[in-house]
Amino acid sequence: MEMQHAMAQPFDLGSGTLIPDADIMETGKVDLSVYTSQERFEAEREIFGKVWLNVAETAEIPNAGDWVVREVKVRSASIILVRGKDMQIRAFHNICSHRGMKLVWDSKGRGGKFSCPYHAWMFDSAGDLVNIPDEGCFSHVSKADSGLTPVRCDTWEGMIFINLDSTGTQSLRDFLGPLADRLSNVPFGSYPYTARVGSMIDANWKLAIEAQCEAYHVRALHARTVSKMLSSRDNPFVHPLHVEFLGAHRMNSVPRNPEYEMSPEKLVQAFSFMNAQQMVIADTGAQEKPEETFAGHPDVNPTGSNLWGNDQFILYPHFIFHVSLGGWWLHRFWPIAADKCYWEAVYHFERPQSLRNQFAVQYSLALNRDTLMEDNLALVQQQEVMESGAKKIVQFGEQEVMCKHLAAVSEAAANDVEAAQIAAE
């Protein structure tokens, strides 16, 4: 299958216009040290402190006073996301103004009040300090000046983003670039039934993202799980149906195998695929109500292909989401160290209407888990031998163009950070 070339575009992460690395885009060759060196990791750590990061969904805190906590360990930051009485979502550093204690230790809750477990200083959903026990001993403390430290926060299509750069001026919309006007009013809310999985991976975060950005490995690594669902006679190496570069971000349409049939010998698998549309890669009943599904949206399946399986959107630096006929799912990859990252995924299904639907959803989640574990186990082996220094470069092919673009954007962003550090010395 012949690959069509997308054109890389300039992008802006808040420091000015950058260009994806031209040599990487042309040759596909990337210095292997970007996956192993501490120097590169430190540059990327700076990037995570300056760009917009997806951390949650608005549906996780639907009511006034609802809150969740998100950890951004690469920045040693813990963030409270809370919906205020005015229904606005705000973000604050999860640290008490008294003596620097971590304010909230649970991962989620409701009520909109935060009492420090150390000395019970109390803050409200607006971040204001509202109570100091034995307040007479703190005559020098100004409540008005001692609220929680705010974090820049905004939303896009039901997704919550934060920016840890308190002096930054770039809006989320500007950061999203060409993607900002895509997927307007996409019916993410039609799939309210969610399941979450996550795992620490002993591998560089970019390796983990790359494993999700190309299907070239499907026939080999996933031969026992999803290979036959995606790899077809006309497209054996699962070349994308469509590719677009969207500034620092990118998308592609992932094909399906139209000839795939579930083996009658695998009764449980066949039953599950008939009853859990989110994982079905063949036609489902979703088209019966196109206005309530992704099938009816003009920005989904842009080529109109009847071989379409799902659209994948990859937002720099760490966020991926897919939309399909019967649901959607997302991944976040959080750097921990040069050779370690945390992966989290959230799967969104239609609400099960029966026990058979519920069983099918659980089975499809297990299949997803098994497929991703194949990726994650391979990543550990990859990172381990990369550390040897035996190879100096990795080489991406045209069917790995999404990985190539990620590498070209990452190279430009890291070089920009390093240039700024040199200029400041």
Stretch 80-99: mean pLDDT, rounded? Answer: 98
Quote the CA–CA distance of 340 and 373 in Å, as a whole number: 15
Q: Do 45 and 75 form a contact (C-beta atoms < 8 A)? A: yes
Q: Dihedral sign for Cα 43, 244, 255, 28, please.
A: negative
Q: In the prediction, which pLDDT does 191 show? A: 85
Question: Tokens 């009485």 appear where?
Answer: 85
- Return the H-helix or E-strand segment holding 403: helix 401-424
pLDDT at 214 over 90: yes
Which of 3.90.380.10, 3.20.20.105, 3.30.70.1280, 3.10.20.90 would CATH assign to domain 11-50+181-424?
3.90.380.10
100 Cβ neighbours under 8 A, 6+ residues apart: none
Give residue limits of the domains in the chain. Answer: 11-50+181-424, 52-164
Cβ count near 202 (within 10 Å) = 15
Summarised one tens digit per residue, pLDDT across range 352-390 is 777 766 766 676 777 777 788 889 899 999 999 999 999
Q: Do 71 and 107 form a contact (C-beta atoms < 8 A)? A: no
**Beta-strand pair 308-315/319-324:** antiparallel
Q: Do 1 and 234 form a contact (C-beta atoms < 8 A)? A: yes
Q: In the prediction, which pLDDT does 318 show? A: 98
Hey, what amino acid is at 96? C
Listed residue (276, 265, 79, 39) closest to 160, CA to CA? 79
Any idea which architecture 52-164 has in CATH?
A: 3-layer Sandwich (2.102)
Summarised one tens digit per residue, pLDDT across range 173-196 is 999 999 999 998 888 988 888 888
Summarised one tens digit per residue, pLDDT across range 43-63 is 999 999 999 999 999 999 999
pLDDT at 344 over 50: yes
Listed residue (398, 406, 395, 396) closest to 246, CA to CA? 406
Quote the CA–CA distance of 117 and 392 in Å, as a whole number: 50
Separation of CA 51 from chain center: 14
